[in-house]
Amino acid sequence: MSKFGLYRTINMFIPEGSFKNFLRKIILRKYPLIPRELMVNRGNTVVMVGTAKSIRIVRISKSVGKNGKVVIIEPDTQNLESHWECVRTNSLDNVKIVEKAAFSNKGKGVLLVAPKAADHKLVIEGIEHDNDYRSDQYYISSVDVDVDTVDNIVRDAELEVIDYIEIAVNGGELAVLEGMGESLSRTNRIFVKGHARDKETKRPIHERVIPILEGRGFLTHLTRPSRTIARTIDWGPRAGDVYGWKR
């Protein structure tokens, strides 16, 4: 059995509640992230905003099972081709792919394309990410993409609840949350990347993410800092990311 299969097996025997959330906090004392298999359960509905690696889709699909639902929100053409091939090859009937970028409103946006698929990002005024400083002129091109709110996407997909949502979009996280005015009330657990920062103040965006989530009834946990990948400036350590679960 793989370690991911072991996580799924363990997870089946621990019901959602304060004890399980306590165990998640214990994990975060030792590790930077909680395995996704310990954030979702059989039959859950999961939304993943920004997904470069197709293997993550397989993991989540297996975790929620045939009665669960997985919605992938991803705008990049190359990533989408990989995801569709993954869905076909693995017969992931519980996966829906939405070919858009999540944002604060419906319309058009500009996606900066990086050499690494995981580093693509929307142009967001006033926000910088340490990916921007991997090298001089790191991004190799830009492309117009459709953008939409998670609220609209959830409504179109007819999702009544979001058991877990993962938001990792290289600096666009606050814009995504802004487009979740309705759906946050139907979300039980959440992960938000929080180490991008305000371009002027240099403060990490998790300082704005946490109050938003706590104001909507989430208990939050900030992960420990990690090593930056910036090379052309002195960025310092990456600030922590944010987990949240309903009280």
Q: In the sheet that 107-113 helps form, which strands lie side by side, from edge to edge?
A: 101-102, 141-148, 107-113, 121-122
Least confident of 18-32, 92-106, 131-145: 18-32
Count CB atoms within 10 A of the CB of residue 108.
Answer: 10
Three-state SS annotation for 4-27: HHHHHHHHHCCCCCHHHHHHHHHH
* Type of residue numbered 103: F
Three-class secondary structure of residue 99 per DSSP:
coil
pLDDT-derived band at 9, boundaries 50, 70, 90: confident
Torsion of CA 147, 92, 154, 111, to 10 degrees: -10
191 is written with which tokens? 């992960």
Give the per-residue pLDDT at 1. Answer: 66
Three-class secondary structure of residue 89 per DSSP:
helix
Report pLDDT digits (tens) over 158-170: 999 999 999 999 9
HSE at residue 7, side-chain half, CA atoms within 13 A, is 19
Nearest to 127 by CA among 204, 212, 237, 240: 204
Least confident of 27-41, 109-123, 189-203: 27-41
Domain boundaries, the chain: 39-246
Give the per-residue pLDDT at 177. Answer: 99
**Residue 182 predicted with pLDDT over 70:** yes
Architecture of domain 39-246: 3-Layer(aba) Sandwich (3.40)
**Residue 205 predicted with pLDDT over 90:** yes
Separation between Cα atoms, residue 16 and residue 42, nearest integer Å: 12
Nearest to 71 by CA among 176, 156, 192: 156
Looking at residues 123-151, what average pLDDT do you find?
96
**Residue 208 predicted with pLDDT over 90:** yes
Count CB atoms within 10 A of the CB of residue 128.
Answer: 18
Nearest to 124 by CA among 79, 169, 166: 169
Separation between Cα atoms, residue 85 and residue 214, nearest integer Å: 38
Nearest to 170 by CA among 189, 199, 196, 204: 196
pLDDT-derived band at 151, boundaries 50, 70, 90: very high
Three-class secondary structure of residue 103 per DSSP:
coil
Q: State CA 214 to chain mean position distance.
A: 18
Separation between Cα atoms, residue 81 and residue 18, nearest integer Å: 40
Report pLDDT digits (tens) over 227-242: 999 999 999 999 999 9
Strand 162-167 vs strand 45-49: parallel, antiparallel, or unpaired?
parallel
